[in-house]
Chains A and B, each alone.
Chain A
């Protein structure tokens, strides 16, 4: 090895790392780790998706057909946990690993070894969650928000969930520290903060949110653990504790958490729209300030999840107005994306389609969010399918669509191969159709009073539920197409041109060959 060391850059390095499986276990390369994050997230997306298919199959008709109520509850709980912590969050960290160093002209992440650890914690946590289905008493069944008293009473499955959340939290915190340090200390000369690509900005702010609230989540689950096994009574009314306290602490984490899942999506879309509109991003600095104010405001709205716990009217009003205030910076962003497209020379390749779909559907989700924020309405729709519709519009057609958009956008850079554009478009239109079929009708179900997290329902809800289930099966099947497109792209796609998107302006497109070499920017580029 020492002999190779003095060798010319780029050539000698390829031989440094172990091959086979050990390459992936030991790797400290941000691109390898990014790839692992993305494949892991995709697998978890299918595990969580399988649970969702189970839920929708049970809800296809009234009555209990497939899942006993206990198992149904485990399915909804684990579906939420796996999608949030196993699919969406790791997927965004995967994008950060690949893209942040390349977009700021850094050779790698700041702490390469820690980066490897953050990733390898994930499969451990995921296996805890999956194994918990097979322990006596089954998996946690009190909802992804694990409110006490159910989470204090549950069996071994709840303990496994608590450990999994601890591990996932540690992984996210390590990842966030890594990303902050990389962005703040390792930018290429000349790349001032206000010249950073939007994706990098959104991740910087997201990473700060992560170190702010993930430790609080860790504290919450620790309290739960000691309530369960060590005689404390944080949440146990019998011992002087209070279950409502749990909700306050949980949602102090929980609401910023939903922004942790959407800010990087904003970042991805803010890269793609200018590329395919062939114009600069409209209002760059207002985008930065909007992102920062969303993050700040998101720390003062948590109690909009708890309007019905019996808080005083002043409290309800405060949290109602604070929540509505978030719509302002969000509106700024939507305005800027639209203005970027205005009079642009647009083309509609798959990444652009997913980004435009994102804007449309995310706005619907934002509106239903504002409706939920209105206290008298929320008292009606809380814990109904209306809320389910709301957060799937922001999370599936928001975060997930942005992830798809990003994957199509950057896969040529990552692999040097093009995906099949026709199939990509099919993937988009099928996803769009089935997504709306699944979730739009849930607004009606919720307004009519169908409660969430219940395996059976009254007969008047039957038709919409059948529609929703058919949509869900269609959406699930469509995602197999995505795997097919990605796998065939990686294995046998057409070689990608050096710069497949002529409008792209960020460093990875302008300063690096396609595919991006294993080691990039070992001498930093100079940004003018």
Chain B
């Protein structure tokens, strides 16, 4: 083979390799999704299992502040109680309310956020409206529970924690007439 032929073969191989690496970049997306699912990293949206006969630390009180936000979704969203006081280990129920104040159907998804950050490790949620998307009919109002506990292992200097949710609009609901 002449040099230029050999070169062309090489060019082809390297080009195919480039295309494979481009695809590899995309393959990282499902890879990381699976990786996080298997290792349990970032599983904010999966329910935890309720363990019976949990130890409750009745000597401690923790104030849980409840917060609600919306971004780009025409809903009102608020907790029905702004905070609760609980013992670590004790399961509690709180209620949030969403109200669609438009006359179209809207899909929404809530994303949780915790403060302080170490709360993520000790907070166990058994039920939450954030595990699935919410669909509200025109002007519908809905009350939704969150059932959770904070494990007694949480460091003793933590007295107040915040659980915050932000609702985002998902595509798929009825679009407003002048939405783009």
Contact = CB atoms under 8 A, between A and B. Distances in A.
Contacts of A507: none
A242 B42 contact: yes
B158 interface: no
Contact of A216 (B10, B21, B72): B21
Nearest to B6: A185
A177 interface: yes
B168 A238 contact: yes
A215 B14 contact: no
B169 to A, nearest CB: 7
A211 B25 contact: no
A327 interface: no
B6 A219 contact: no
B18 A215 contact: yes
Contacts, number: 89
Q: Is the interface of B mostly helix, strand, loop or mixed?
A: helix
Contacts of B117: 310
A219 B11 contact: no
A252 interface: yes
A30 to B, nearest CB: 14
B105 to A, nearest CB: 18
B61 interface: no
A310 B120 CA distance: 10
Contacts of B25: 215-220, 223, 249, 252
B71 A238 contact: yes
Contact of A248 (B23, B28, B109): B28
Contacts of B14: 176-177, 180-181, 211
Interface in B97-114: 109, 111
A333 B20 CA distance: 33
B22 A219 contact: yes
30 contacts: A110-B10, A110-B11, A177-B11, A180-B10, A181-B14, A184-B10, A185-B10, A211-B14, A211-B21, A212-B21, A213-B21, A214-B21, A215-B19, A215-B20, A215-B21, A216-B24, A217-B25, A219-B24, A219-B25, A220-B25, A223-B25, A223-B26, A234-B29, A237-B111, A238-B169, A239-B170, A239-B171, A244-B42, A245-B29, A249-B28
Interface of B: 3, 6-7, 10-11, 14-15, 17-26, 28-29, 32, 39, 41-42, 71-72, 109, 111, 117, 120, 168-171
Interface of A: 110-111, 173, 176-177, 180-181, 184-186, 211-220, 223, 231, 234, 237-240, 242, 244-245, 248-249, 252, 310-312
Given A110-B10, A234-B29, A245-B29, 17 more contacts: A111-B7, A173-B18, A177-B14, A177-B18, A215-B18, A216-B21, A217-B25, A219-B23, A219-B25, A219-B26, A223-B25, A237-B168, A238-B109, A238-B168, A238-B169, A242-B42, A310-B120
